[in-house]
Amino acid sequence: MNLFLKDKSLEEVLPESIFSTPVVSIRVEDTLAEAAILLPHHLETLTDTLVATSNDQPVGVIGGIEVLEAILKNQTLGFLDKTKVGDVMSKNIVIVNSKTKFSELVDKWLEIGRAFAIIPNQYKGYSIISVRKILEVGLLFKINTPISAIPAKNIITFHKNDTVRQIIQRMFDNNTRKLVLEGTSFFINDRIIIQKLIREFNCLRDGQDFLGMNSDIFSLEEAINVSGDLTIVEACKIMKTMKSPLLRIKDKVISPWDIVLILNSGNLS
């Protein structure tokens, strides 16, 4: 029997935790360097996006996408310290409420190309709904559809001799935050790149050619290899324990976003 989660409201699909994850905010007048330092603590854990505020009101968002796009365009000494969050943030901020349908949320995410939304909470502030939080839906409704039902997509790869610039550009060209090292299950993502940027390259304050360096400067993460018989609920359990959730079935990879799409499809059991 199909479970039409897409027709349910957010308070129905997340009855216990809809307001449980607080917004992580940064002011529009703060610097891009400050955003870069803050992001790795939250990327793919609580959230992959910071909410930019002006006079304590949400006016935009900034995440790994904006940071990487900015340094790809300008790697000059001190650039991150001189650039304000308000200059590079995205103004595409999705604000929902508890009555918003799950399908409406996913449609908005597809429209803006970012799986992130905020929702007013009982404390007169905002909580977040991210792609990672939607894994809780698969757990709550005990979706037993096998992950083999998720449509296959090309695995976007990189080579060990690629430069940081080539890796970031490939992410943008293919609209993905994860690239798999060719011939392996190891992958790189925006969090890994930004962590290296702030911890070892001091937010480009040292003048080194960060973008020109080879990918071997990074410590990669590894996707978990699983069987296609694994159910959605089992996949969600595994992903919830991973710092950077990514599963691999032979010739395809499955991310939390793929889980979101199949939950919204209605093709469930």
Q: For residue range 15-38, what is the model confidence (pLDDT) as tens digits?
A: 999 999 999 999 999 999 999 998
- Any domain includes 85: yes
* Total domains, the chain: 2
- Any domain includes 62: yes
- Any domain includes 202: yes
pLDDT given for residue 152 in this prediction: 84
Last residue of a domain, one of 76, 99, 130: 130
- Any domain includes 233: yes
pLDDT given for residue 44 in this prediction: 47
- Any domain includes 138: no
115 and 176: one domain?
no
Question: 14 with 136: CB under 8 angstroms?
Answer: yes
Judged by average pLDDT, the poorest of 20-34, 36-50, 62-76, 149-163 is 36-50
- Any domain includes 38: yes
> What residues contact residue 242 under an 8 Å CB cut-off, 6+ apart?
224
- Any domain includes 67: yes
Going by C-alpha positions, the residue among 259, 38, 252 that lies closest to residue 132 is 259
More confident residue, 145 or 152: 145
pLDDT given for residue 47 in this prediction: 63
**pLDDT at residue 14 is higher than 70:** yes
21 and 98: one domain?
yes
Over residues 57-69, mean pLDDT: 95
125 and 152: one domain?
no
């905002």: which residue's tokens? 126
In the numeric block, which tokens belong to residue 4?
């039409």
**pLDDT at residue 42 is higher than 80:** no
65 and 107: one domain?
yes
Last residue of a domain, one of 95, 130, 165: 130
Q: CATH number for the domain including 27?
A: 3.10.580.10
**pLDDT at residue 191 is higher than 50:** yes
Residue 195 is part of which domain span? 147-265
**pLDDT at residue 43 is higher than 70:** no
| Strand order from edge to edge, sheet including 221-222 | 157-158, 178-181, 186-189, 221-222
- Any domain includes 172: yes
31 and 78: one domain?
yes
Going by C-alpha positions, the residue among 89, 91, 48 that lies closest to residue 257 is 48
